[in-house]
């Protein structure tokens, strides 16, 4: 029998992406579904950092990432997986677009968090003072609203150019924390709250630029709600995960 939280999580994530893809058949018309040639681009939230085990590359790709799980569940005609932990928009443009072609029919991507300084912000908030955390979060939010939109626009446009026949699905990032009390060693409620607020800003910016590019935005926040760090059944790793910290676990 499958582990129940894992089964629920996989069902939710597959349903989320399936809803984003949408039905291929026209109601009332019998037709064969077109083959799906799927390419998964992006950063650690697409490569599967936190889920493990990983391939032998430096990208920390896991077969428990949503991308290979969805590809296997939907019997795609082809699947390419260049997503890489630590990637920024420039890395997608320089290193990942070669997986795309005119035959690609579906592309998914998570990107932008590392451009906004995800790792440094989390380090400042976990180990720094309240003021250090606040300053880091405010700087990340300013970057997300001021500089990131143009970078996302360029990235989505380049994907369109390399894969003109593909549906582009942009996945957002979840909120990382629940804000209830969870022990003396946890980040303060205030820090967790402003980090979640920063995640909301990033989601808003990403959704807006995805819409401008004619892409579908898949908001992961509702799926992860209640399962952040400090939740009863967390799906996000805490700081003990070291390089996996604040990434989705296998569940």
Q: Are 133 and 191 in contact (CB under 8 A)?
A: yes
Give me the pLDDT at residue 79, please: 98
pLDDT at position 9, please?
44
- Which class for 4: exposed (0-12), middle (13-18), buried (19 or more C-beta within 10 A)? exposed
Residue 33 pLDDT: 80
- Catalytic residue of the set 3, 37, 44, 131: 44
pLDDT tens per residue, range 104-122: 999 999 999 999 999 999 9
Mean pLDDT value across the chain: 90
pLDDT confidence of 18, banded at 50, 70, 90? low
Active site residue 227: no
Assessment of whether the complete model's pTM goes beyond 0.85: yes
Q: In whole angstroms, what is the distance from residue 201 CA to residue 203 CA?
A: 5
The one catalytic residue in 37, 46, 62, 247 is 247
Establish whether 247 is a catalytic residue: yes
Which residues, listed in sequence order, are joined to residue 248 by a DSSP beta bridge? 236
Q: pLDDT by residue (tens digit) across 47-98? A: 999 999 999 999 999 999 999 999 999 999 999 999 999 999 999 999 999 9
215: left (phi over 0), alpha (psi -120 to 50) or beta: beta
Q: Which fold has domain 37-248?
A: Rossmann fold (3.40.50)
d(CA 230, CA 47): 24
d(Cα 144, Cα 72) in Å, to the nearest integer? 34
Tell me the angle at which helices 130-146 and 118-127 cross, rounded to the nearest 10 degrees. Answer: 160
Q: Which residues pair with 158 in a beta bridge?
A: none
Using the 8-state DSSP alphabet, how is residue 56 labeled?
S
pLDDT for 181-235, tens place per residue?
998 889 999 999 999 999 999 999 999 999 999 999 999 999 999 999 999 999 9
The domain limits of the chain are 37-248
At which residue do the structure tokens 């037709």 appear? 31
Predicted confidence (pLDDT) per residue in 90-104, tens digit = 999 999 999 999 999
| Polymer length in residues for the chain | 251
Read off the pLDDT band of 7 (50, 70, 90): very low
């Amino acid at each position: 029998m499958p582990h129940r939280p894992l089964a629920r999580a996989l069902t939710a994530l597959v349903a989320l992406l399936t809803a984003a893809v949408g039905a291929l058949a026209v109601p009332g018309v019998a037709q064969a579904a077109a083959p799906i040639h799927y390419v998964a681009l992006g950063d650690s939230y697409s490569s599967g950092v936190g889920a493990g085990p990983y391939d032998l590359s430096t990208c920390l790709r896991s077969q428990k990432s949503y991308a290979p799980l969805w590809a296997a569940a939907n019997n795609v005609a082809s699947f390419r997986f260049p997503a890489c932990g630590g990637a920024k928009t420039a890395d997608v443009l320089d290193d990942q677009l070669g997986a795309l072609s005119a035959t690609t029919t579906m592309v998914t991507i998570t990107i932008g968090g590392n451009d906004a300084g995800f790792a440094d912000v989390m380090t400042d908030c976990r180990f720094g003072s309240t003021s250090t955390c606040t300053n880091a979060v405010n700087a990340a939010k300013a970057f997300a609203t001021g500089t990131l939109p143009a970078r996302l626009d360029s990235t989505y446009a380049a994907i369109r150019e390399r894969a003109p026949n593909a549906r582009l699905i942009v996945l957002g990032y979840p909120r990382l924390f629940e804000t209830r009390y969870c022990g003396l060693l946890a980040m303060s409620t205030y820090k967790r709250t402003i980090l979640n607020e920063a995640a909301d800003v990033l989601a808003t910016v990403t959704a807006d630029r995805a819409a401008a590019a004619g892409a579908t935005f898949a908001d992961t926040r509702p799926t992860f709600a209640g399962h952040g760090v400090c939740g009863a059944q967390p799906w996000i790793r805490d700081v003990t995960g070291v390089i996996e910290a604040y990434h989705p676990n296998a569940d």
